[in-house]
Amino acid sequence: MSDVHAQTVSYVRETMLPEAEPPVTERGAIKWLRENLFSSWLNAILTILSLFVIYYVLSHTLGWMLYGIWDAGSLTECRQIRNELYGEDASVACWAVLADRWDQLLFGFYPQDLYWRPVAALLVFFVAVSPILFEGVPRKLFYLTAAAPFICFWLIWGGTIWGPIVVALGFVIAGAIFRYGAEMVGPLLAIIGAFLVPILYWLLLAGPLTGMLNSIAPIGMQYVSSDEIGGFMLAFIIGITGIILSFPLGILLALGRQSDLFIINKTCVTFIEVIRGVPLIVWLFTASLLLNYFLPPGTNFDLLLRVIIMVTFFASAYMAEVIRGGLAALPRGQYEGADSLGLNYWQSMQLIILPQALKISIPGIVNTFIGLFKDTTLVVFVGLSDPIGFSNLIRATTDWNGIYWELFIFIGLCFFICCFSMSKYSQFLERKLRTEHR
Amino acid sequence: MTDAQTSPVADRKIDRSKMAVSDEVAIEIRDMNKWFGNFHVLRDINLTVNQGERIVVCGPSGSGKSTLIRCINALEEHQKGTISVDGTLLSNDLKNIDRVRSEVGMVFQHFNLFPHLTILENCTLAPIWVRKTPKREAEETAMYFLNKVKIPEQADKYPGQLSGGQQQRVAIARSLCMRPRIMLFDEPTSALDPEMIKEVLDTMIQLAEEGMTMICVTHEMGFARQVANRVIFMDQGQIVEQNEPEEFFNNPKSDRTKLFLSQILGH
Ligand SMILES: Nc1ncnc2c1ncn2[C@@H]1O[C@H](COP(=O)(O)OP(=O)(O)O)[C@@H](O)[C@H]1O
Ligand SMILES: [Mg+2]
C-alpha cells in the first residue's frame, strides 16, 4: 500500500503557481458587455438598435430640455428670449411656466401665506407612518399615528381646533365601549354599542359641543375651504386618504367574501362586483351629482369628501380581490395549524393568515395603490382642480396660452417619482419579509 | 416483517413505569357518523379512550383515519352522534370548540408550522394569545420543550431553515407548549425521509413514557408494538378491529385486518 502510494505520488509541486487573472474576454466590463449585450447575433442587433433609438430620442429632446428658459413672465416673453439667444427656429423648453406657477400646481388656490400648513401636514404624515413602514422606529410613535389624521385635517382645513378633537373623542368613546363594555353588558351588545353610540354622538352632540367649547376657548387657525385646495395637494389628499382607508376595508371585504355566513358573504360579493364592474369616472359623477338627490336638502356634504369616499370604495374592491388571491394561496394547513392551537377566528387571521396572505399580495396591493394614486387625476372631470385641472387653468390664461409639454412633463415626473418610490418600497418590503429558504 | 418497520424504535428499552392507564375517560365517541356531502366517510364510530392510553390507528389509505382524529378536535364537524373530550361535549358552541382545541394538541403530516414566525415564536404564540401567559414565561416554557425535543439551538431560526424531522419535532414542541392533556398525531412520520423518522418516533416514545394520552395514526408498526396499548384497524369508515398490540399483530381476527397486515408488513 505505502509502496504504491510512494510511486503514484512521485511528483509533488513545492511552490504555488501565482494567481492568474481570467482571460480578458472573461472579466470586468468586457465580460459584462459580452454576456449582456452581445451574447448572440440577435442580441447584438437589438443592442445596436436600442442604442440608435436612445440616441435619436435624446438628440431631439436633450437640447430642448437643457437649453430651456426659466426666467420669463409669459410664453411671448419666453419666445422673445429664445429668439435673442438661439434664433427663431430653435426649439427649446419654456420652463418659466413652472417657475411662475409652481405654487398653483402644488397647492391650488390655497392661501400663499399658509403654505406651511399642508407641508407640515405632509411631514406629520410621514413621521406617523414611519413606525408602520419601518422597523426600528420607536414604538411610542404609534400614539402620533393614531392622532395624525386629526392633526393633518386641522392643519389643512384649519378652523377651530375643537372640531377634530370632538370628532376624535367619538373614536375614544367607541374604543372604551368596545374594551370595557364586553364585561359589563356582554360582547355582542358592546360591539353594537361601539358602533351606535359614537354615530349618535357625532350626529347629535358633536356640533353643539364643538360650538360650546369654541365659545369657551376659541382656539383655531384661519379656515380654508375645500374649493381652495388643488394641484398636487389635492392629489395627495385623495390618494393618501384613499390608500389608508381602502387597505383595511379591502381586508375586511376579502375576509367577508371568504366567510361562511351567508349574509356577510353575499353583501361583500355584491359590493365588490358592483363597485368593480362600473368605471371610476361613473362613480365620481355619481358622487358629484346623484348624491345630492339622496342627501337631505340643505346638507352641505363636501364634494372632496364624497370623491374620497368613492375613490376609497373603488380601490378597496380591487384590494379585496388582490388579498383574496393571497388568502387562497395559503395552504389549508396554516388555517388548521392555527385552529388546532385554539386560536379564535380573529386571532388566527391577525397572527397567522393575514401576515402571510398580505406578504404574498404585496405586489398586487402596491399595484392597486399606484393605480389609485394615478386615478386621482380623474377628479378633474367633476370639477376639482387636480394637477391636470390646474394645467388646464394655467393654459387658459393669456400669459401661458399655447404651452403643453412643459406642464405635462412636470406633472408626469411628479407622479412618476411618487409611484416609483412606492414600487421601490414594496420591493424592499418583499426582501425584508422573505423568511423561507426553500 | 421488514427491518425498516421496526428498527427505528427497536434499539431502545422502553420505560413503562409511568405508562399507566387510568379509569378516567379522556375521549368518548358515541355512534358518531360523518358525511362529506353524500359520501358517508365515518360510520357508527364508538370509541372510549382513557387518560394515559396510547392508541395507534391504522388502516388503508382513505379509510377515514385522519377524518376520525380531526373530528376529535373539531377540525371537521360530525353530523350524528356525540364526541366528548375531557368531559366537554363538542357541539356547535364555539367556546367549547376553542376550549377543547386548547386542551388537545395535534401534529400533522406536513407539520403546518408558521413559516413567517421563528421557531420560538411558533411555540409561544398560542400560550401568549390563547392562555394569556406572560411573554417571558411562555418563552421559558417554549425553551423547556424545545430542549426536550432536542433542538433548543434552532429557536431563532425560521421553519424553512430546518430539516423535515426537526420541523416535526418543533411541531410537537409547539403543541406541548399549550400543556395539552391529549395529543393527536396524523401520520407524523410519513412525509419524512427514512433517516429522520427515528428522531420523531423517539420524541413520541418519550411523550408516551411520561404518561401522555395519545392517538396516533401511523403505519410504523414497530412503534405500535412497543408503545401502543391498543391498536385500532379502520376500513371504509368503520372500526373493524381493535386489540392489544400482541394479539392484534399475531392473531388478527378479521380477514380485512389480515390482508392489510400482510400487505404492510410484507409477509
Ligand atoms: N374535505 C373533504 N371533502 C370531501 N372528501 C374528503 C375530504 N377529506 C377527506 N375526504 C375523503 O374521505 C375519505 C377519508 O379520508 P381520510 O380520513 O383522509 O383517510 P385516511 O386518513 O385514512 O387516508 C377519503 O376517501 C377522502 O377522499
Ligand atoms: Mg390521512
With a 6 A CB cut-off, is B213 part of the ligand 1 pocket? no
Q: Is residue A115 part of a domain?
A: no
What residues flank ion ligand 2 with Cβ within 5 A? B 66
Q: Which three cell numbers stand for residue A111?
A: 392661501
- Residue A1 above 50 pLDDT? no
Q: Is residue A170 part of a domain?
A: yes
CA distance A143 to A159: 23
CA distance B85 to B74: 10
Tell me how close the Cα of B130 comes to any Cα of chain A, in angstroms: 6
B166 CB within 8 Å of a chain A CB:
no
Give Rg (Cα) of chain B: 18
With a 6 A CB cut-off, is B167 part of the ligand 1 pocket? no
Neighbours of A374 (CB within 10 A): 15
Residue type, A58: L
Q: Where are the domains of chain B?
A: 25-112+182-265
- Is there a contact between B101 and A342 if contact means CB atoms under 8 Å apart? yes
Residue type, A231: G
Residue to mutate (ligand 1; options B42, B58, B67; most atoms within 8 A of CB):
B67
| Helix, strand, coil % over all residues of chain A, rounded to 5 | 75, 0, 20
Residue to mutate (ligand 1; options B41, B71, B79; most atoms within 8 A of CB):
B41
Q: Is residue A87 part of a domain?
A: no
Indicate if A235 and A213 belong to the same structural domain.
no
CA distance A182 to B246: 55
CB A257 within 8 A of CB A272: yes
- Tell me the backbone φ, ψ of residue A220, rounded to 5 degrees: 180, 175
With a 6 A CB cut-off, is B66 part of the ligand 1 pocket? yes
- Is there a contact between A437 and B161 if contact means CB atoms under 8 Å apart? yes
Long-range CB pairs of A46-49 (<8 Å, 24+ gap) are none
- Residue B3 above 80 pLDDT? no
Indicate if A217 and A256 belong to the same structural domain.
no
B21 CB within 8 Å of a chain A CB:
no
With a 6 A CB cut-off, is B38 part of the ligand 1 pocket? no
Residue type, A155: L
- Exposure string for A360-372, b = 16+ CB within 10 A, e = fewer: bbbebbbbbbbeb
Mean pLDDT (chain A) is 87
| Helical axes A387-396 vs A96-107, angle rounded to 10° | 130
What pLDDT score does A366 carry? 93
In a mutational test of the B interface, the residue from A336, A340, A437, A438 whose CB has the highest number of chain B CBs within 10 Å is A340
First to last CA, chain B: 6
| Helical axes A141-157 vs A162-185, angle rounded to 10° | 140
Q: pTM, whole model, 2 decimals?
A: 0.85
Indicate if A337 and A407 belong to the same structural domain.
yes
Map residue A87 onto helix, strand or coil. coil
With a 6 A CB cut-off, is B64 part of the ligand 1 pocket? yes
Q: Which three cell numbers stand for residue A213?
A: 367649547
CB contacts, 8 Å: A343 with chain B: 125-126, 129-130
Indicate if A203 and A242 belong to the same structural domain.
no
CB contacts, 8 Å: A336 with chain B: 75, 108, 112
CB contacts, 8 Å: A338 with chain B: 114
**H or E segment at A374?**
helix A354-375
B108 CB within 8 Å of a chain A CB:
yes
CB contacts, 8 Å: A355 with chain B: 116
Give the angle subtended at the CA of A209 by the CAs of A208 and A215, to the nearest 5°: 90
Is beta strand B54-58 parallel, antiparallel or unpaired with respect to B230-235?
Answer: parallel
Q: Which atom of ligand 1 is nearest to the CA of B67?
A: 17
- State the Cα torsion A407-A413-A414-A419 to the nearest 10°: 140
State mean pLDDT over A328-332: 94
With a 6 A CB cut-off, is B62 part of the ligand 1 pocket? yes
Q: Tens of pLDDT along A284-301?
A: 998 888 767 776 666 667
With a 6 A CB cut-off, is B218 part of the ligand 1 pocket? no
Q: Tens of pLDDT along B4-47?
A: 444 455 566 777 777 788 888 999 999 999 999 999 999 999 99
CA distance A329 to A268: 20
What pLDDT score does B4 carry? 42
Q: Tens of pLDDT along A71-93?
A: 888 888 888 988 888 888 888 88
Identify the DSSP state of A229: B
Which residue is associated with the grid cell 504504491?
Answer: A4
Label residue A30 by pLDDT band (50, 70, 90): confident
State mean pLDDT over A138-143: 82
Nearest CA to ligand 1 atom 1: B36
**H or E segment at B33?**
strand B25-36
- Is there a contact between B113 and A433 if contact means CB atoms under 8 Å apart? no
CA distance B84 to B264: 32
Indicate if A182 and A299 belong to the same structural domain.
no
Tell me how close the Cα of B115 comes to any Cα of chain A, in angstroms: 7
Greatest distance between any 2 Cα atoms in chain A: 110
Indicate if A370 and A312 belong to the same structural domain.
yes
Q: Which three cell numbers stand for residue A330?
A: 395559503
CA distance A186 to A191: 9
What pLDDT score does A120 carry? 94
Q: Which atom of ligand 1 is nearest to the CA of B187?
A: 21
What pLDDT score does B224 carry? 92
User: What is the number of alpha carbons within 13 Å of residue B60 lying toward its C-beta?
Assistant: 12
- Residue A134 above 80 pLDDT? yes
Indicate if A401 and A261 belong to the same structural domain.
yes
Indicate if A211 and A339 belong to the same structural domain.
no
- Residues 6 or more apart from A235 whose CB is under 8 A from it? A373, A376, A377, A386, A387
CB contacts, 8 Å: B114 with chain A: 334, 337-338, 352, 356
Interface of chain A against chain B, CB under 8 Å? 331, 333-334, 336-344, 347, 351-352, 355-356, 359, 433, 435-438
CA distance B60 to B9: 23
State mean pLDDT over A334-349: 92
Indicate if A349 and A301 belong to the same structural domain.
yes
| Helical axes A303-329 vs A354-375, angle rounded to 10° | 140
Neighbours of B171 (CB within 10 A): 27
In three-state form (DSSP H/G/I as H, E/B as E, the rest C), the secondary structure along chain A is CHHHHHHHCCCCCCCCCCCCCCCHHHCHHHHHHHHHCCCCHHHHHHHHHHHHHHHHHHHHHHHHHHCCCCCCCCHHHHHHHHHHHHCCCCCCCCCHHHHHHHHHHHHECCCHHHCHHHHHHHHHHHHHHHHHHCCCCCCCHHHHHHHHHHHHHHHHHCEECHHHHHHHHHHHHHHHHHHHHHHHHCHHHHHHHHHHHHHHHHHHHHHHHHHHHHHHCCCEECCCCHHHECHHHHHHHHHHHHHHHHHHHHHHHHHHHHCCCHHHHHHHHHHHHHHHHCCHHHHHHHHHHHHHHHCCCCCCCCHHHHHHHHHHHHHHHHHHHHHHHHHHHCCHHHHHHHHHCCCCHHHHHHHHHHHHHHHHHHHHHHHHHHHHHHHHHHHHHHCCCCHHHHHHHHHHCCCCCCCCHHHHHHHHHHHHHHHHHHHHHHHHHHHHCCCCCC
How many domains does chain A fold into?
3
CB contacts, 8 Å: B102 with chain A: 341-342
Label residue B188 by pLDDT band (50, 70, 90): very high
Identify the DSSP state of A98: H
Domain spanning B25-112+182-265, CATH architecture: 3-Layer(aba) Sandwich (3.40)
Q: Where in A200-316 does DSSP place strands (E)?
A: 220-221
- Is there a contact between A341 and B178 if contact means CB atoms under 8 Å apart? yes
Indicate if A258 and A386 belong to the same structural domain.
yes
Mean pLDDT (chain B) is 90
Domain, as residue range, for A52:
24-62
CB contacts, 8 Å: B126 with chain A: 341-343
CB A373 within 8 A of CB A411: no
Q: Tens of pLDDT along B190-200?
A: 999 988 999 99
User: Pick the residue with more confidence: A34 or B163?
Assistant: B163
Residue to mutate (ligand 1; options B63, B76, B78, B216; most atoms within 8 A of CB):
B63
In a mutational test of the B interface, the residue from A336, A339, A341 whose CB has the highest number of chain B CBs within 10 Å is A341
Q: Is residue A379 part of a domain?
A: yes
Q: Which residues pair with B34 in a beta bridge?
A: B42
Label residue B267 by pLDDT band (50, 70, 90): low
CB B182 within 8 A of CB B213: yes
Determine which of A28-32, A408-412, A415-419 has the lowest per-residue pLDDT on average.
Answer: A28-32
CB B218 within 8 A of CB B188: yes
Q: Tens of pLDDT along B38-64?
A: 999 999 999 999 999 999 999 999 999
- Tell me the backbone φ, ψ of residue A108, rounded to 5 degrees: 65, -140
The last residue of a domain, from among A201, A221, A241: A221
CA of B24 to the centre of ligand 1 (A): 31
Question: CA-CA distances (angstroms) from residue A294 to A277, A281, B191?
Answer: 22, 19, 61
Closest by CA position to A49, among listed A67, A36, A37, A33: A37
CA of B66 to the centre of ligand 2 (A): 4
CA distance A102 to A407: 10
